[in-house]
Amino acid sequence: MPKFTADPKKKFFGFCARRERWGLTWRGWLAFCLVGLFLFFGIVLQVQPFLAPTHRVETKILVVEGWIPEYALRKAVVEFQSGGYEKVFVTGGPVVGFGGYTNDFNTSASVGAELLIKNGLSPSQVVMTPSHVSGRDRTYSSAVALRAWLRGQPTAVKNFNVLTEDVHARRTQLLFEKAFGRDTQVGVIAVASPEYDPAHWWRYSEGVRQILAESIAYLYAKLIFRPDRTA
C-alpha cells in the first residue's frame, strides 16, 4: 500500500499553497515611484486649465451665469462689447437663502442682469431667463430654462458662448451641452478668479478648495448625472 506523503508546498489540508511569484526589485520600485510622481505632478499642473477652459464659437449670443461674482460680470460686459454680440442671456435659479422660488426677480438671473446693466450694458441688450429650480443640479436646470425660452422664439439658436467663473467652466459647458443636445454648439469662457494664482493653485486655500470641489462635481456630472429627458 503506497504511503501518503504531504506536499510541503501545501498547508491547512490543501486549502493554501505556496507558489513562486515575480516581485519588483529596488530598481523596479524606483521606476514605479518616479512614474507615479510624474503622473501626479502632471495632473496637478493640468487640472486647473482643464477645469477652466476658454473655447469660443462664432455667435452673436452670449450667455452669462447670473450667480457669478461682480468682477466676473464686469468681464462679461467687456466680452459682450468687444465680441460683437447682439444679446446676452442671464441664467440662474432662486437666490440661495430665501427658501426656494418666490418670483423671477428673486433669482440669480435677475441679480446678474441688474449688475450687467449697472456696469454698462443697455437694458435692451440683456434678457434674463430665470430657473424656478433650487437645490441640486442648478446649472443644468438653468440651461433647461434657457432652452425653453429660446425654443419659444421664431429663430432657432444653433450656437452660443456661455461665460462663467473659473474652474466651474468645464462643468458648465458639459451640462449646457447635455441640456441642448448635439444640434447646438456651446462655447465656454472662463473668467479667472483673483483669489489665487492658477499656475500655483495648490499654494492657496481657496485654490485647493475650488479645485477639489469642482473636480468632484465634474466627475459626478460626467459619470453619474443623468438628465431628466422630460424636462
Q: Is the pLDDT of residue 8 over 80?
A: no
50-81 pLDDT, tens digit per residue, is 999 999 999 999 999 999 999 999 999 999 99
Residue closest to 87 by CA, chosen among 155, 178, 177, 169: 155
User: Out of 2.40.50.100, 3.40.50.620, 3.20.20.120, 3.30.30.60, which CATH number does the structure's domain 50-224 have?
Assistant: 3.40.50.620
The single residue listed with the C-alpha cell 523596479 is 28
CA dihedral 38, 44, 46, 50 (to 10 degrees): 140
Domain residue ranges of the chain, discontinuous segments joined by +: 50-224
What local confidence, expressed as pLDDT, does residue 2 receive? 56
182-212 pLDDT, tens digit per residue, is 999 999 999 999 999 999 999 999 999 999 9
Q: Which three cell numbers stand for residue 170?
A: 468645464
**pTM for this one?**
0.83
204-224 pLDDT, tens digit per residue, is 999 999 999 999 999 999 999
Q: Rounded to an integer, what is the distance from CA 229 to the centroid of its chain? A: 20
